[in-house]
Amino acid sequence: MFRALAMLGAGGILFLGPLVFNRLGLASTTIGLGLALASGVGLISRFLSGYILDRGVALAVPLRIGAVLSISADLLLLQASDSSGFLIGQLLLGLGMGFYWPAAEFASASLSAPLPSSQGFALARTADALGIAAGTALGTSLAALFGADQLRWVYGIDISCMVLLLVLVGWLPRHSAMPNASEAPSTGPAAPRSWLRPLLPLLMLSLLGTGLINLQQSALPLDLANGGLARAGLPEVGGGLLMGVQLVLILLLQWPVGHRLGQQPVGVGLRLSLRSFAAACGLMALSALHPQGVVLLLAAQPLLALAITAFLPTITEAVIEAVEPAHQGLALGLYSQAWAISGISLPPIAGWMLQSEQHGLGLWLLMGGFSLLALPLTPHRLSH
C-alpha cells in the first residue's frame, strides 16, 4: 500500500513536472540538467540508504527520511519560477527518492512471503503502476479543469501523499530489510569477480532499460510539446492525456504480464522487453515525419507498456537469481544505482538532442538500435 501511495505523488511530478517548467520557459537542456542532478545526488542517498539498512536500521527510517526530503522539494518547486529554484528542488527530490527506493525494493523482497520473490516484485510493480497512473491522471485532470497553469499543483498532491506515507510506514515491521541475512550459513568471502561476472551483463541491461524508462519521464513529454518535423506539438493537456494512456496500460498489464513471466526463465521476459522497446522507439521516431504522427505515438504506447511491465519485475528477479544469497543485498544496491546513473547521463543528452534538432527522430532511432544490440546480453539460464 505504501508503494502505491508514494507513486501516487511521484506520478504527477515525474511525468508532468517537466511540462510545468517547460511552460515557464526553461530550456530543455536546463530541465534535463535538473533531472540529471536529481539522479546524481540519488547515487549518494541510495548508497546511504542501503548502508544503514545493512546495519540493521528499521525499514521505516530511510522511508521517513525520503518522505521529509520530498516534502521539502515539493514546497520549493511549488513556488519556483527560475532555473535556480528548479535545480535546488530537483536536488532535494533526488535525495529523497534515493533514500526511498532501496528500502522499498528490500521490503518487497523480504515481506513477499508466502509468495515467491518473483511474484512479490510483480505485485509491488503493480502497486507502483497504480499509483503513477492515478497521480498522472489527477494532475492532468487539474490542468484540464482549471487550466494548464494549475499543473504545478502536482507538487501539492505529492506533499499530501508524503505526509500520509510518514504515517503508514509506522506500521511496517521494525526489523531491517534482510532480517535473516545473519542466519545464513557463511561459506567465507567470495572473490568479487566470481559473483560480479554473471551480474555485469544484467547491470548493462539495467542501465539501458532504466534509461529508456527515464526518457519516458523526461524526453517524451518535451518531444510531445515540441512536435516533430511534420507533427505539430501537443498542448500540455493533450501530452498529459497521451502519457496517461501509457500509464493506464501499464497498470492493466503489470500484474498479468509480471505473473506470467514470473513462471518463465528471466531471459524470456528481458528479450520480450527489449524487442518491445525497439518497436516502440521506431514508431515514435517515425511519428516525427508525418502530420498525423500522433497516431503512431498512440500505437507506440501499448508496446512501451508491454516493454516496461516485462522489464521491471524480471530484471529485479534476474539480479536476485544471478548471485548467491550472501551478496543479494549488494546486488540489489548495484541494480538500484542503474536508475541514478541512467538518469544522470541520458536526460541531458536527450535534452540537448531535442533542443538542437527540434524533434525526437534521432533520439528514438538511437535508443531503438541500442535495444536490439542488447539482445545478446540477455541470459538463457542463471544459477548461483
Q: What is the CATH number of the domain that holds 123?
A: 1.20.1250.20
Cα separations in angstroms, 230 against 193, 234, 287, 373: 51, 13, 8, 29
Contact indicator for 170, 14 with CB cutoff of 8 Å? no
Does residue 134 lie in a domain region?
yes
Q: Is residue 183 part of a domain?
A: no
Residue 382 lies inside a defined structural domain of this protein = no
Does any domain span residue 179? Answer: no
Residue 358 located in a structural domain: yes
Residue that the C-alpha cell 507498456 belongs to = 305
The range of the structural domain enclosing residue 64 comes to 2-173+193-377
- Three cell numbers, residue 207: 542501465
Residue 259 in any domain: the answer is yes
pLDDT digits (tens, 9 = 90+) for 70-80: 999 999 999 99
Tens-binned pLDDT, residue by residue, of the chain (384 aa): 677 878 888 877 876 788 788 888 888 788 888 888 888 898 888 888 877 877 778 888 999 999 999 999 999 999 998 899 999 999 999 999 989 887 887 777 677 666 676 777 788 888 888 887 788 778 778 777 776 677 788 899 899 999 999 988 887 766 544 444 334 444 444 455 567 888 899 999 999 999 999 898 778 888 888 888 889 888 866 777 787 788 889 889 999 998 899 888 999 999 999 999 999 999 999 999 999 899 999 999 999 999 999 999 899 889 888 887 667 767 777 788 888 788 778 888 888 898 888 889 999 999 999 999 999 999 876 555
- Write down the pTM of the prediction: 0.75
Question: How many domains does the chain divide into?
Answer: 1
Assigned domain for 111 exists: yes
Scanning the structure block, which residue is given the C-alpha cell 548471485?
Answer: 323
Nearest by Cα to 220 from 326, 118, 367, 373 = 367
Closest CA to 361 of 169, 223, 174, 259: 223
Q: How far apart are CA 259 and CA 253, in angstroms?
A: 10
Q: Is residue 181 part of a domain?
A: no
